[in-house]
Amino acid sequence: METVMEYLRSFGAIGLFIHALIDAVIFPIPAFFLQVSLSALNPENALWLAALGYAGCLIGTPIGYALGRTSGNLILNRFMKKKWLDSSTALFQRHGETAILIGSFTPIPFKLFTIMSGFMQYPLWKLLAYAAIGRGAKFFIVGILFYMYGRAAEHMVDGMLGMILLAVGLLFCTVLLLIRWFRKRKKLERTAVPVKE
């Protein structure tokens, strides 16, 4: 894996684009690590790197989804124990949107969410929408930190980025759940039949 990482690093920004694309499909190491190392080398290009990584991830997302749709059962059974697969499938059925959104912010390889979405036949447009929000925030928070603070941002990323991303992810999920709750409540109010005395 280190050899592959070095090879991708040698291509610079294009290497990050390719890494982000295959991160959403099959590669086990998140593109985040290559983004950080390339941004530390050239902080003035950090926003450009974030944009390329983001584009690669969005292009790779439907490919990972298609892989999950066609071979998800085979792939997931190979890499996960049956009890883990059953519990994650049940969890994904109940909280798919929240899982994708939080997963977009975490260092967990994004391919798990794209493949699981395809396997569960989760709507592709929803996967792309939540990936666009979560992955965009993740790539651009790193990019902005490096662009503003230069190489000093590497310590910030190492120390605080996980907590920042988790907090932003939880905030997005809270807003999403509140919107769903208000919509459900309005729908119940509209369908409620007044009781005759």
b/e string for 127-142 if b means 16 or more Cβ within 10 A? Answer: bbebbebbbbbbbbbb
Mean pLDDT value of segment 53-57: 95
Tell me, what's the pLDDT at 143?
92
- Kindly report the pTM of this predicted structure: 0.76
Of all residues in the chain, what percent carry a pLDDT higher than 90?
A: 27
Task: Round to whole Å and give the CA distance between 126 and 121.
Answer: 11
| DSSP annotation of 29 | S
Tell me, what's the pLDDT at 144?
92
- pLDDT tens figures, 131-167: 888 888 889 988 998 999 888 887 777 666 666 666 6
Report yes or no: 54 and 44 within 8 Å, Cβ to Cβ: no
Tell me, what's the pLDDT at 120?
85
